[in-house]
Chain A
């Protein structure tokens, strides 16, 4: 029972901490101090809430306790009491400010986290820490790095924000576009961390997806922002169908489409429809359009693979990345025949960075299976399973491998 109570409190933290921190950052103007005092408030909450229950307005509780801790800190740091009181006086009596001001502060904090002056690997960690309220331990686990190394990374980033004075403001007009691209990238990383991560805490992962969507909604309604939102909504719609009851990864083809979330699909399609009239297709809109075609296919066999294949062609021009290339190959094979896909894969196998990709061998296995080449598919699934590092993916590949061994009926 105590464990459940703690889990519930941690869930509340992830929902509220980003907002509370944005308010504290506004008041104290120092990310390091804001984080420290919020952590102190959370520590007190963890002692108290599991016994006394979660307060009606947990954000207000955390804000008040953190604010007092901040004032104590300023006094201890030798700031005069009047100065500390001046800080206190600009805190609203109702503790929590109106929603809009908080959301604006969160947007500013998001742009700080994604500032190009910070190391790329620090950006997403900082966003997870400050905006999504994850603990350093949780982030370290997600990235598969040691907690001390991650703490160092966060410390360096925070120090740079203070020393170089990275402003708590939206970027200047001429910088907005390039900065926005990085913000979208980090939001999608947060979403993917929640959506794709294998194993771990399911509640935590759902919180991350929800937070990524909330952050996306803070941004101005530009086509690529809408594209990213639509992409996340459409991917999230498949969440309930992605895993079998036994926790195995299911392909789009195998998923029970009745489990897809119709409300999320409708919202995703509507958001994408807002973006398309601007006729400024970017990588997120293209990926969302692909996801939309899947979402709209009543059955796997009714999928419009020709359009999907064409969209992957366009996406490759924006993002010539190995994973996109492999998906383009599969779409081409589905649209025009497995032999086209296999010929393309054979050429890709000569690319050093792809030769040992389990995705490449999984794709080849899948196409061979569709062609009825059982021996070829068996070997390719075995190779892919050997190369896969993610446990859920490896399990999927081994299952496929096992199915190939069964006599065909």
Chain B
């Protein structure tokens, strides 16, 4: 079963990081991704550009309405995702807990409809 691992954290936190801290976080993400690959559960994933680059589209009365900004202004922003194939929720939750950003923000685990 596939699960989306949605990574939410405060972007300001990343921006405030010293260069060395950022480098070690990136290294942690690289080895996390490797571990997911080695376990054979990785189906996809990406880091997203900062939320300042987000654009939202809504179609109202048949016309697209385009606005600057994300779906909702929140304290923590969606910064990336992994798509995992796990046996069950417990397995997905263990992987989510190992995500390097779990100690900085919140990892939301969502099953993907089959």
Contact = CB atoms under 8 A, between A and B. Distances in A.
Interface in B1-17: 1
Contacts of A281: none
A31 to B, nearest CB: 14
Interface stretch (B19-27, B43-51, B88-96): B88-96
A164 B2 CA distance: 10
B88 A167 contact: yes
28 contacts: A115-B89, A117-B89, A117-B93, A163-B111, A164-B89, A164-B109, A164-B111, A165-B1, A165-B88, A165-B89, A165-B111, A166-B88, A166-B89, A166-B90, A167-B87, A167-B88, A167-B89, A167-B90, A169-B88, A169-B90, A171-B90, A172-B90, A172-B91, A172-B94, A174-B94, A175-B90, A175-B93, A175-B94
A146 to B, nearest CB: 30
Q: In the complex, which range does the number of interface residues on chain A fall in?
A: 10 to 19
Which secondary structure characterizes the binding site on chain A?
loop
Contacts of A172: 90-91, 94
Given A165-B1, A167-B88, 14 more contacts: A115-B89, A164-B89, A165-B89, A165-B111, A166-B88, A166-B90, A167-B89, A167-B90, A169-B88, A169-B90, A172-B90, A174-B94, A175-B90, A175-B93
B23 to A, nearest CB: 28
Nearest to A168: B88
A175 B111 CA distance: 20
A171 B97 CA distance: 14
Interface in A154-176: 163-167, 169, 171-172, 174-175
Interface in B84-114: 87-91, 93-94, 109, 111
A348 to B, nearest CB: 35
